[in-house]
Structure 1
Amino acid sequence: MFSTLGSSIVVFAIAAVIIAVTGVRLAQLADELADRTGWGEALMGGLFLAGITSLPDFAATLTAAVDGYAALAMGNVMGSLAVNLVFLCIGDIFYRKANLEHAAATSPNLIQAALFIGLLVIPLLAMVTVPVAVLGIHPITPLLVCSYILGYRLVQSSQYRPMWIPRRTSQTVVDQPDQAGNDNQRAGLRLWLVFALLALLIATSGWALMNAAETIASETALSESAVGTLFTAFFTSLPELVTTIAAVRYGALTLAVSNILGTNCFNILVFAAADIAYRDGSIYHAIGTPQLAWGLLTILMTAILLLGFICRERDGIGRIGFESFLILLLYAAAATITLLA
């Protein structure tokens, strides 16, 4: 199935379509489950929906790491982190009433943005420091997992006991879970079952996508870094794009934003999994400058997004916030440089 360039391109396209279609249904289920459980859109988007939409990235990166394609694996996850922020800007374009970051400003979303910056710095430090590995695994790998768990304890605390509340304006869309229907346990169980089946489908598609990408990278003039950072990163992140747009159209703005930020935080765990799966030493020491540069770019983009949350511009260039405009500009420049390099 992955032996020739032609068959790999066909598999790549089919897997991308499956990922996109599945993502729309996931957004609907997540919004309904957020109301049914009473957990709210921030936790549902930041944990459960983020975990599911990250599965293609997880499967694709692990596949490349096991097969020894370090640059492809890390390029995929680095590119996914950056393109997810672009998808949030696209959601801002689709939401025409006001700047999305203004309307969906919440304490959990602010904390998730700051948490992501902190989590991403950890593997970047491992990439530029003295090579260290115990049984082929870098010591920061377990630190990443612990930091993620502790970070989401803070997110959960801010959801139920917020110590900071954004000023409510006429454009603010407040997440108010609908408790109606909580008594129907059978219907709730059915929703969770469908959620799990879609998760399996989307993970399988991610595995197929990366296997096809390995053949495409080896049979064309494109580098592993370019294929991973731009192409596989975009297509494995399609669930984030379609769920974000769908959530915006449903009016679940907090779910849309928390899904992107939560997915990026969850994707940091992909670094840890890839380090364990890669058997030629620590994967942090097997990659080059392009992946490091994309990581630094993502930190810059997230810092700009965080400024947008704090400043809460109601309208900006083209009815989107200044943060969305700058993020789109930075990504376009970085993608152009990567393709020309």
Structure 2
Amino acid sequence: MQEIVMAYENKTAFPIKATFHRAAENRKNVSILYLHGGGMVFGTKDDLPKAYIELILENGYDLLMLDYLLAPESNLEEMITTLELTINNFTNDTYKEIGLTTPRYLLFGRSAGSFLALLAAKRKNIMRPAGLILFYGYYNLAESSFSAPAPYYLKIPKVEEAVASAIAGNTPLTYGPIQKRFALYLFARQTGNWLSLLAPKNTAVDLKKYSLSLDDLKELPPAFLAASPFDYDVPFEMSKTMAETIPSAHLYIAKNAEHDFDRNPNDIMAIEAYHRMLSWMQEKLKYESVTTNSRPARMSI
């Protein structure tokens, strides 16, 4: 394991840390760039259980676990712009600096991380990922449940506005442990004001700009999806629609499970999802070569 800091030519960009795990055997020469969940409000890059990390490495894939900017200290435009810089940094320079021979990569996101992976994959100024791994993700911020009080979270004791306001800071942040930040997300979902946390100050989120259309989904690289029909946080229908629309997509359905059904690697469905994911990658990546990328590895930012 190696912690690195992504260095940008733009000196004003907020430095992003990453944890790199290198596969020792059976190397595929493909990196998985991981984005954590947390509603873009909380979460940390190193939240992926050790069992999954070991499984990924044993199958020959390198793993780069990325920080990203969190709301409301940063808005969605700042998040995705910085994420673009981070991905371009990896494909242009960092892959060589950490001893890799190719910048070929997949984007792996859980929940909000899936959403950010989709936004990044939609952009034209980054190297096209070889594939996407989307666990209980979403692609459309115009989903009605995102802007209304969430029934599941209303069952939890109410978070007072003063408590939530005290959590939010004034400087950019990339590290948000659930113990310190979850109350802010809970307040936002209880009040239906989650999207306002993602918006620039005194404005609203441009839902169309920060969502993917069905046509956008049709242009994405192959994707492995995993979700539960009983998800209380993100509608399962969004994963189903993505699986039906993204070319060469496969959906693993975790029956009778919760939102983040893979949080416990000892759960049979959870570990099965990762085995299915790796089998899918082995099958799909056989037909993808570095030269098939439609976007060059180096682009000016």
Shorter-normalised TM-score: what interval?
A: 0.3 to 0.5
TM-score norm. by structure 2 comes to 0.32
User: Which protein is richer in helix relative to its size?
Assistant: 1
Bigger Rg over Cα: 1
TM-score norm. by structure 1 comes to 0.30
Higher relative contact order (CA 8 A, sep 6+): 1
